[in-house]
Chain A
Amino acid sequence: MLARSHLIAIYSSIFLLSGSALAYEVLLMRLFSIIHWHHFAYLIIGLALLGYGVSGTLVSLFQDWLNTRFTTIYPLAIMLFAVSSLGSFLLAQSIPFNAEVIFWDPWQWVYLAFLFLFLAIPFFFAATAICLAFMRFQRHTGAIYAADLVGAGTGSLMIIALLFWLAPQQELWIISLIALVAAAIPLSMIENQKIPLLLLFVALIVVLFLGSGLELKMSPYKSLQQTLQITGSRLVYQQSSPMGFIDLVENDSVPFRAASGLSLNTPGEILPQKALFVDGENMTPLNQYDGDREPLVYLDFMTSALPYHLGRIEHALIVGAGGGSDILQAAYHQVPDIQALERNHQVIEIVDQHMADYTGQPYSHLASKTHAKDVRDYLQGNEAKFDLIQMNLQQASASSAAGLHAINESYLYTKEAIKLYRSHLKTGGYLALTRWVTLPPRDIFKLINTLVSSLQEEGIDDIDKRMLIIRGWQTATLILKQGQVTTHEIEQVKEFSQQRSFDLVWYPGINIAETNRFNQLATPIFYQSAKQLLTGNADAFVQGYKFNLEPATDNRPYFHSYFKWDTFTELLALKDRGGMPLMEWAYLVLWATMIIALIASVILILLPLLIFNKKVHDYTTHIGKGSVVYYFMAIGLAFLMIEIAFIQKFMLLLHHPIYAIAISLSAFLVFAGVGSQFTQRLLSWFGTQRLIQLTGFSILTIGLIYLWILPGVFAWSADSPIWGRFFMAILLIAPLAFLMGIPFPLALSTLTRHAPHYIPWAWGINGCASVISASLSTIIAINYGFNMVIVIALMIYLSITWFYPGKQFLRQ
Chain B
Amino acid sequence: MTKNTVYKIVVLLAVYIITGQLFAEDFSRRHQTMIKDIEDTVRETRHYLDKEMFDQRVMDVMAKVPRHEFVPSSQQDNAYQNRPLPIGYGQTISQPYIVALMTDLIETRSEDRVLEIGTGSAYQAAVLAELVNEVYSIEVVEALGEKAAKRLQRLNYNNVHTRIGDGYYGWPEQAPFDAIVVTAAASHVPPPLINQLKAGGRMVIPVGSRFMTQQLLLVEKSNDGTIATRQVMPVVFVPLTGKH
- Give A contacts to B, CB under 8 Å: 98, 100-101, 104-105, 220-222, 225-226, 229-231, 253-255, 257-262, 264-266, 269, 437-441, 473-474, 501, 518-522, 525, 532, 536-537, 540-541, 543-547, 570-571, 574, 576-582
- Within 8 Å of chain A (Cβ to Cβ): is B187? yes
Beta-carbon nearest neighbor of A301 in chain B: B188
Q: Is the CB of A520 within 8 A of B237?
A: no
Q: For B235, give its contact among A266, A473, A519, A582 (CB under 8 Å).
A: A582
Q: Is the CB of B211 within 8 A of A100?
A: yes
- The distance from the CB of A301 to the nearest CB of chain B, in whole angstroms, is 10
Q: Is the CB of A264 within 8 A of B243?
A: no
Given A473-B229, A519-B229, A576-B83, the answer on whether A581 and B213 have CB atoms closer than 8 Å is yes
- Within 8 Å of chain A (Cβ to Cβ): is B172? no
Contacts of A440 in B (CB 8 A): 233, 237, 239
Beta-carbon nearest neighbor of B243 in chain A: A544
- The distance from the CB of B171 to the nearest CB of chain A, in whole angstroms, is 15
Q: Is the CB of A474 within 8 A of B207?
A: yes
Q: Is the CB of A439 within 8 A of B233?
A: yes
Q: Is the CB of A581 within 8 A of B214?
A: yes
- The docked-state distance in angstroms from the alpha carbon of A597 to that of B229 is 47
- The distance from the CB of A282 to the nearest CB of chain B, in whole angstroms, is 13
- The distance from the CB of B147 to the nearest CB of chain A, in whole angstroms, is 13
Contacts of B185 in A (CB 8 A): 226
Contacts of B19 in A (CB 8 A): none
- The docked-state distance in angstroms from the alpha carbon of A266 to that of B190 is 10
Most chain B CB atoms below 10 A, which of A101, A266, A521 = A101
- The docked-state distance in angstroms from the alpha carbon of A536 to that of B164 is 54
Q: For B227, give its contact among A264, A439, A522 (CB under 8 Å).
A: A264
- The distance from the CB of B187 to the nearest CB of chain A, in whole angstroms, is 5
- The docked-state distance in angstroms from the alpha carbon of A540 to that of B240 is 11
Given A259-B187, A520-B228, the answer on whether A231 and B98 have CB atoms closer than 8 Å is no
Given A100-B210, A230-B140, A258-B187, the answer on whether A518 and B235 have CB atoms closer than 8 Å is no
Q: For A576, give its contact among B37, B48, B88 (CB under 8 Å).
A: B37
Q: Is the CB of A474 within 8 A of B241?
A: no
Q: 5 A–B contact pairs at CB < 8 A?
A: A257-B188, A259-B187, A546-B237, A546-B241, A576-B82
Contacts of B188 in A (CB 8 A): 257, 259-262, 266, 474
Known: A474-B188, A576-B97, A581-B209. 4 other contacts (CB 8 A): A231-B141, A261-B188, A546-B239, A577-B97
Given A225-B90, A264-B189, the answer on whether A574 and B241 have CB atoms closer than 8 Å is no
Contacts of B26 in A (CB 8 A): none
Interface flags for B151-195 (1: CB within 8 Å of A; 0: not) read 000000000000011101000000000000000010111110010
Given A259-B188, A581-B214, the answer on whether A546 and B240 have CB atoms closer than 8 Å is yes
- Within 8 Å of chain A (Cβ to Cβ): is B212? yes
- The docked-state distance in angstroms from the alpha carbon of A574 to that of B141 is 33
Contacts of A441 in B (CB 8 A): 239
Closest 3 CB pairs of A and B: A578-B234, A578-B235, A220-B90
Name A's interface SS: loop
Given A264-B189, A264-B194, A439-B233, the answer on whether A577 and B239 have CB atoms closer than 8 Å is no
- The docked-state distance in angstroms from the alpha carbon of A265 to that of B164 is 28
- The docked-state distance in angstroms from the alpha carbon of A491 to that of B99 is 42
- The distance from the CB of B115 to the nearest CB of chain A, in whole angstroms, is 17
Q: Is the CB of A577 within 8 A of B235?
A: yes
Chain B residues numbered 216-244 whose CB sits less than 8 Å from any CB in chain A: 217, 219, 227-231, 233-244
Beta-carbon nearest neighbor of A268 in chain B: B191
- The distance from the CB of B167 to the nearest CB of chain A, in whole angstroms, is 9
Q: Is the CB of B213 within 8 A of A254?
A: no
Q: Is the CB of A520 within 8 A of B214?
A: no
Q: For B187, give its contact among A257, A537, A581 (CB under 8 Å).
A: A257
Most chain B CB atoms below 10 A, which of A221, A438, A525, A571 = A221
- The docked-state distance in angstroms from the alpha carbon of A521 to that of B214 is 14
Name B's interface SS: loop
Contacts of B210 in A (CB 8 A): 100, 221, 226
- The distance from the CB of B105 to the nearest CB of chain A, in whole angstroms, is 13
Q: Is the CB of A231 within 8 A of B191?
A: no
Q: Is the CB of B231 within 8 A of A519?
A: yes
Q: Is the CB of A501 within 8 A of B227?
A: yes
Q: Is the CB of B237 within 8 A of A582?
A: yes
- Within 8 Å of chain A (Cβ to Cβ): is B215? yes
- Within 8 Å of chain A (Cβ to Cβ): is B7? no
Beta-carbon nearest neighbor of B188 in chain A: A262
- The distance from the CB of A106 to the nearest CB of chain B, in whole angstroms, is 11
- The docked-state distance in angstroms from the alpha carbon of A185 to that of B235 is 62
Q: Is the CB of B89 within 8 A of A220?
A: yes
Q: For B214, give its contact among A104, A254, A265, A438 (CB under 8 Å).
A: A438
Q: Is the CB of B41 within 8 A of A543?
A: no
- The docked-state distance in angstroms from the alpha carbon of A101 to that of B211 is 7
Q: Is the CB of B237 within 8 A of A231?
A: no
Q: For B45, give its contact among A438, A544, A577 (CB under 8 Å).
A: A577
Q: Is the CB of B244 within 8 A of A231?
A: no
Q: Is the CB of B237 within 8 A of A579?
A: yes
- Within 8 Å of chain A (Cβ to Cβ): is B25? no
Q: Is the CB of A544 within 8 A of B90?
A: no
- Within 8 Å of chain A (Cβ to Cβ): is B208? yes
Given A264-B229, A519-B231, A574-B237, the answer on whether A100 and B212 have CB atoms closer than 8 Å is yes
Q: Is the CB of A439 within 8 A of B83?
A: no
Contacts of B189 in A (CB 8 A): 262, 264, 473
Given A440-B233, A578-B234, the answer on whether A260 and B187 have CB atoms closer than 8 Å is yes
Contacts of A540 in B (CB 8 A): 243-244
- The distance from the CB of A249 to the nearest CB of chain B, in whole angstroms, is 14
- Within 8 Å of chain A (Cβ to Cβ): is B44? yes
- The docked-state distance in angstroms from the alpha carbon of A525 to that of B233 is 13
Contacts of B227 in A (CB 8 A): 264-265, 501
Contacts of B194 in A (CB 8 A): 264
Q: For A577, give its contact among B41, B144, B212 (CB under 8 Å).
A: B41
- The distance from the CB of B41 to the nearest CB of chain A, in whole angstroms, is 4
Chain B residues numbered 40-96 whose CB sits less than 8 Å from any CB in chain A: 41, 44-45, 48, 81-84, 86, 88-91, 95
- The docked-state distance in angstroms from the alpha carbon of A255 to that of B228 is 27
Contacts of A100 in B (CB 8 A): 209-212
Contacts of B97 in A (CB 8 A): 576-578
Q: For B229, give its contact among A259, A520, A544 (CB under 8 Å).
A: A520
Most chain A CB atoms below 10 A, which of B83, B189, B212, B242 = B212
Contacts of A266 in B (CB 8 A): 188, 191
- The docked-state distance in angstroms from the alpha carbon of A116 to that of B48 is 42
- The distance from the CB of A765 to the nearest CB of chain B, in whole angstroms, is 39
- The docked-state distance in angstroms from the alpha carbon of A748 to that of B230 is 67
- The docked-state distance in angstroms from the alpha carbon of A439 to that of B231 is 9
- The distance from the CB of A211 to the nearest CB of chain B, in whole angstroms, is 27
Q: For B237, give its contact among A105, A259, A570, A576 (CB under 8 Å).
A: A570
- The docked-state distance in angstroms from the alpha carbon of A793 to that of B56 is 61
Most chain B CB atoms below 10 A, which of A255, A258, A537, A546 = A546
- The docked-state distance in angstroms from the alpha carbon of A266 to that of B95 is 32
Contacts of A225 in B (CB 8 A): 90
Contacts of B209 in A (CB 8 A): 100, 221, 581
Given A519-B229, A544-B243, A577-B45, the answer on whether A229 and B214 have CB atoms closer than 8 Å is no
Contacts of B238 in A (CB 8 A): 546
Beta-carbon nearest neighbor of A536 in chain B: B244
Contacts of B241 in A (CB 8 A): 544-546
- The distance from the CB of B207 to the nearest CB of chain A, in whole angstroms, is 7
Q: Is the CB of A543 within 8 A of B228?
A: no
- The distance from the CB of B138 to the nearest CB of chain A, in whole angstroms, is 11
Beta-carbon nearest neighbor of B214 in chain A: A581
- The docked-state distance in angstroms from the alpha carbon of A101 to that of B84 is 9
- The docked-state distance in angstroms from the alpha carbon of A264 to that of B214 is 20
- The docked-state distance in angstroms from the alpha carbon of A578 to that of B243 is 25
Q: Is the CB of B90 within 8 A of A221?
A: yes
Q: Is the CB of A543 within 8 A of B244?
A: yes
Q: Is the CB of A518 within 8 A of B229?
A: yes
Given A518-B228, A520-B228, A581-B213, the answer on whether A229 and B208 have CB atoms closer than 8 Å is no
